[in-house]
Amino acid sequence: MSLDHFLTDTREQLEAALTQCFAQSASSRLRESVLYSLLDGGKRLRPALVRAAAEVVEAPADSWLSPACALEMVHVYSLIHDDLPAMDNDDLRRGKPTNHKQFDEATAILAGDALQAEAFLLLATAEQFSNSQARQMITTLAQAAGAGGMVGGQMIDLQSEHKTLSLTELENLHALKTGALIKAALQLGALCQPQPNSVKLAALNQYGSAIGLAFQITDDILDVTASTEVLGKPQGSDVAAEKSTYVSLLGLDGARQKAQEQQASAIAALQKAGLDSNSLLWQLADYVLQRDH
């Protein structure tokens, strides 16, 4: 399957599944607000990573879909809360009004809260998994999402505004804020197979760490080089917020070089697992660096 076809097919399956969610919402406005953000046409990189990792460990077909939906719910909830006036105060997300602009702040807070609960509910009730698999998936997602992962990284990010970070501090921040969920994507994919090969597991972990970092460096580069129209949010917003970025610390060329080093590390991990340049994860590593938004 070509990468384009894979990404399109993953997006379509994911969005069809997400549309069915929140049927039990007690409030139609809450459901509307949740689906507004869930179905806003993101790249769906994390779900694609879950699926590609599940294929590497030869997991049962379609087993990737529930964990991919759960992970995307956590990602989307974090975007909704991140955009709030008290946080990044963003009006636009992917070219559309952010959730609190389209609805209101209270609804956006609750939509994020509901998404997080639903993510764990989805994993706990996914019938294709054994109790052991479901429990490991929930552990993985909760660790990646919580105070020792994404939310911890967001807190550090807020505390770092108007400060110059060291490169080590910046890497720690992003390993938590964006890296933890990306790494979790690979781990969730691997857990779709009850007894994955340990060499492949170690390779997926190394790949996840490297690709997470490469993703963030590319984000920092795009904030400087891409247009507002292509980004769907104001170009230069990191500079405006006086945030330390890979570009501000290393310069544009230095940042590009660091992204390439991470890509090389990701590729090396895949080679250890016996994968070649035709594999989806290899192509995804290229895609993460070459995307224009």
Return the number of the residue (138 or 250) whose C-beta is nearest a second copy.
Answer: 138
d(CA 35, CA 175): 28
Min CB(124)–a second copy separation in Å? 4
Q: Answer yes or no whether residue 222 interacts with a second copy by CB under 8 A.
A: no
d(CA 208, CA 223): 23
- Tokens 């992204």 identify what position? 259
Considering CB under 8 A, how many residues would be counted as binding a second copy? 56
Q: Answer yes or no whether residue 167 interacts with a second copy by CB under 8 A.
A: no
d(CA 22, CA 235): 34
What are the beta bridge partners of residue 92?
97
Return the number of the residue (130 or 290) whose C-beta is nearest a second copy.
Answer: 130
Report the residue from 13, 18, 22, 203 that binds a second copy according to the rule CB under 8 A.
Answer: 22
Q: Where are the beta strands (DSSP E) in the chain?
A: 92-93, 96-97
Q: Answer yes or no whether residue 149 interacts with a second copy by CB under 8 A.
A: yes
Min CB(180)–a second copy separation in Å? 9
Per-residue x/- track, 237-276, a second copy (CB under 8 A): ----------------------------------------
Min CB(221)–a second copy separation in Å? 25
Task: Let me know if 11 is exposed, middle or buried by CB neighbors in 10 A (0-12, 13-18, 19+).
Answer: middle
| Long-range own/partner contacts, residues 38-43 (CB < 8 A, 24 or more apart) | 38/72, 38/73, 38/76, 38/115, 39/15, 40/93, 40/94, 40/96, 41/94, 42/72, 42/76, 42/94, 43/7, 43/291
What is the SS3 assignment for 93?
Answer: strand
End-to-end CA distance of the chain: 23
Q: Answer yes or no whether residue 147 interacts with a second copy by CB under 8 A.
A: yes
Q: Answer yes or no whether residue 195 interacts with a second copy by CB under 8 A.
A: no
Min CB(77)–a second copy separation in Å? 8
d(CA 194, CA 68): 17
Report the residue from 8, 19, 128, 139 that binds a second copy according to the rule CB under 8 A.
Answer: 139
Q: Answer yes or no whether residue 29 interacts with a second copy by CB under 8 A.
A: yes
Report the residue from 14, 18, 34, 182 that binds a second copy according to the rule CB under 8 A.
Answer: 34
- Tokens 């990189």 identify what position? 45
In the range 76-135, which residues lie near a second copy by CB under 8 A? 77-78, 81, 84, 86-87, 104-107, 109-110, 112-114, 116-118, 120-121, 123-125, 130-132, 134-135
Q: Which tokens in the block code for residue 252? A: 């544009």
Q: Answer yes or no whether residue 138 interacts with a second copy by CB under 8 A.
A: yes
What is the SS3 assignment for 96?
Answer: strand
Min CB(90)–a second copy separation in Å? 13
Residues near a second copy (CB under 8 A) are 22, 24-27, 29-31, 34, 77-78, 81, 84, 86-87, 104-107, 109-110, 112-114, 116-118, 120-121, 123-125, 130-132, 134-135, 138-139, 142-143, 145-149, 151-156, 158-159, 172, 176
